[in-house]
Structure 1
């Protein structure tokens, strides 16, 4: 998916800008409140949301990794951590646990290490790729249970959504969660409102889609959008450079080891999958040392 394609009218909801403009819209939380209710599968509407500043110190963020995207609480004090992950990240659940346990520890310390009346914490991970290939469901809710599947505790709940597994067509869309995931996967493929499915006229989705319409961006929003594109392009370029440098180091070490073991230049070239000229350069380095 090209997250920033100028030919598309609507910005992908799963892009950095799209996520912040919809889920992170502090001025209008109608979409966020309904989306959170759908994620946690609750029949009770969320009436109010308060955004909370990130409290994890010493953690930096690069492109699509590092720090959670959204942290907020509702009028009941329930805590929500929401993270969007586009790339493959098999250890993503470990990151979710880190965020949740950090928040739990913070709440306990603020209560002078008391464990009563702790609010519920929902850690919600939305992933573009699949991280649980052995599980068929695209929406998973995990709490603490015993070996008989009996509930032990649900003060902390981990929710994962794997968008790659969501295959429902329009005729199969029934729940608000289905409507949300369908929107996240397809909004950037639509060019005109005449192509909208009927449920995109529901207020909570309509306000989010309006934030993703490039034609409706204010000059300030357009600048923010362009800066996000630039930042992401730079992050991708830096990441590719790191990968290339790492690959070069591995190949260099492979050639060094091969030459030191007595392999010929041609054999070393085949082993490391590099050119003969590359082997000669490594060989010169060894001789000069």
Structure 2
């Protein structure tokens, strides 16, 4: 039996965008919810109109849903980390929070928005072993004082190891599902198959469940991810080296800017539409035209 990687656009949306029970299980396992806050029912919300291309803003795939209490949940898989991603997550969560109210409605109708972000990259290297990061609005000096509304969770998948939080069984099982299964997997761990929800999610990854066209798109997804990551990392290193060689204190910032431009230049040569390049590099249309 051959399985596909659950982190790809095609598979992630197949598992979590088509099976309410599975996305509910994921949310209950990975979000900081009290026992009386468990998600028991959801409805899917329309995904924002974005280009159907894995290059969009570093290949984000997402699922949006709302439960019977009115709470909104945003679930995203981020394949390549960039510093701008946190701002994008905050922007999207804030937008989802604001959009709950129509003109003239009362603020007390607002329900919390939870943003769960699974990152297939390490972005907090100095926090060794800590892969789970939970942000919310708290009083700086009295952290028990909280302004409810936005809950942002980031999970660094490469840092996860099964023994980190052994007491949180479902959290461990879902993270093992996301980190241990890929194209090389031939035998699924018994611990995953023993759980009905995880077994269902595993079955959804069987290669035989996808058409030839879908499989071709799956392979293309990973090809683009590989090219984009190589271009971005290589360009960033060269740009940073140039800034340091010139002795500038702002070398890192300039290096990152140079990296974005080089990525855009290569994508432009490859015939990628300008709109996609803008979303992948944060460059303006004019800047791209001048390259």
TM-score norm. by structure 2 comes to 0.68
Mapped to 2, the partners of 1:59 and 1:116 lie a distance apart of: 36
**CA displacement at 1:145 relative to structure 2:** 0.7
Equivalent runs, 1:69-108 vs 2, <5 Å: 69-108=62-101
Equivalent runs, 1:204-223 vs 2, <5 Å: 204-214=197-207, 216-218=208-210, 220=211, 222-223=212-213
CA contact (8 A) 1:72 1:79 kept: yes
Mapped to 2, the partners of 1:173 and 1:213 lie a distance apart of: 29
SS across alignment from 1:168: coil
**CA displacement at 1:133 relative to structure 2:** 2.6
Mapped to 1, the partners of 2:111 and 2:165 lie a distance apart of: 38
SS across alignment from 1:12: coil
**CA displacement at 1:204 relative to structure 2:** 1.0
Mapped to 2, the partners of 1:239 and 1:129 lie a distance apart of: 11
Alignment: residue pair count: 236
Mean CA deviation greater in 130-139 or 152-161: 130-139
Who is 1:40 aligned against? Answer: 31
Mapped to 2, the partners of 1:148 and 1:59 lie a distance apart of: 44
Who is 2:104 aligned against? Answer: 112
Equivalent runs, 1:51-200 vs 2, <5 Å: 51-55=44-48, 62=55, 65=58, 69-108=62-101, 110-112=102-104, 114-135=106-127, 136-146=129-139, 147-169=141-163, 172=166, 174-188=168-182, 189-193=184-188, 196-200=189-193
Deviation by residue 1:170-214 (Cα, 9 ceiling, x = unmatched): 994742111111111102253124xx2324321111111001111
Who is 2:215 aligned against? Answer: 225
SS across alignment from 1:198: helix
Check 1:163–1:66 CA distance in 2 against 1; reply closer, same or farther (3 A cut): closer
Q: 1:29 aligns with which of 9, 20, 24?
A: 20
Check 1:243–1:150 CA distance in 2 against 1; reply closer, same or farther (3 A cut): closer
Mapped to 2, the partners of 1:50 and 1:106 lie a distance apart of: 16
SS across alignment from 1:107: coil
Check 1:91–1:170 CA distance in 2 against 1; reply closer, same or farther (3 A cut): closer
Deviation by residue 1:222-260 (Cα, 9 ceiling, x = unmatched): 43232232355357657878999x89xx8xxxxxxxxxx
TM-score norm. by structure 1 comes to 0.69
CA contact (8 A) 1:59 1:66 kept: no
**CA displacement at 1:160 relative to structure 2:** 0.8
Check 1:159–1:238 CA distance in 2 against 1; reply closer, same or farther (3 A cut): closer
Consecutive unaligned residues of structure 1, counting only runs of 5 or more, are: 1-7, 251-289
Check 1:111–1:16 CA distance in 2 against 1; reply closer, same or farther (3 A cut): same
Mapped to 2, the partners of 1:240 and 1:116 lie a distance apart of: 47
**CA displacement at 1:164 relative to structure 2:** 1.6
